[in-house]
Amino acid sequence: MLLEPLLVTIPITTHVLAGLALRIHRRNANLARYGAANLSIAKRIEKKLKVWPVVSWSSISGYILTPLVLGHALANRTLPWVYEGGSSGVGLGYVSHGFAKHPFIAWTGYAALVGVGVGHFVWGIARWQNWIPTGNDKKAKRRRWIINGITAAISLLWMAGGLGVVGRGGLSDGWVGKGYDELYSKIPMLNL
């Protein structure tokens, strides 16, 4: 019971909050560096000061990924915990049922979660390892292609398993399927 929050929830929350805190810290450092820390917001706007750090692909994908991960956690952990007292009944059958019952939302959400998530991870590792291409020379273009190729390969492999196997599992019948329907009816976007 405690293992998932320790291994998943706390690190993800810490990562997101650290990213926001680092962005604010860099902004404040820019304000201090350029002598604008004591200027009012109106004066900063008037002087057209650019104090926020540049938003990278990794940052953008992280901002897009956050609501996707929250939606995934809501559907697969929070709702089962609230309505059934735990998520032990939520497995691949539950996910397959969701793909069969709500195909557009399930396939779109899964593809977005995997695609953006893998892009965020791969580009984040590239940044961490100092492999981020700079400039427009041949070496930088080749590096971009390699990083994007790795992203595409991992995404396709992951989606082949998720969409090709689990996504085609079909509806669950009987009382199990009714239980899954009950949980899915609690998701706001599915109960329009």
Residue 167 burial by Cβ neighbours in a 10 Å radius (0-12, 13-18, 19+): buried
Which residue is listed with tokens 């790795």?
150
- Contacts with 80 (C-beta within 8 Å, 6 or more apart), sequence order: 86, 87, 89, 90, 183
> Mind listing the pLDDT tens digit of every residue in the chain (192 residues)?
567 777 888 899 999 999 999 999 998 888 888 777 777 878 777 777 777 888 888 889 999 999 999 999 888 888 888 888 887 888 888 889 989 988 898 889 999 999 999 999 999 999 999 998 888 889 999 999 999 999 999 999 999 988 888 878 888 889 889 989 988 888 877 664
* Statement: the pTM of the whole predicted model exceeds 0.85: no
- Tokens of residue 119, six digits: 């892009």
Domain boundaries defined on the chain? 1-54, 56-190
Spatial distance between the Cα atoms of 43 and 169, rounded to a whole number of angstroms: 60
CB 76 within 8 A of CB 92: no
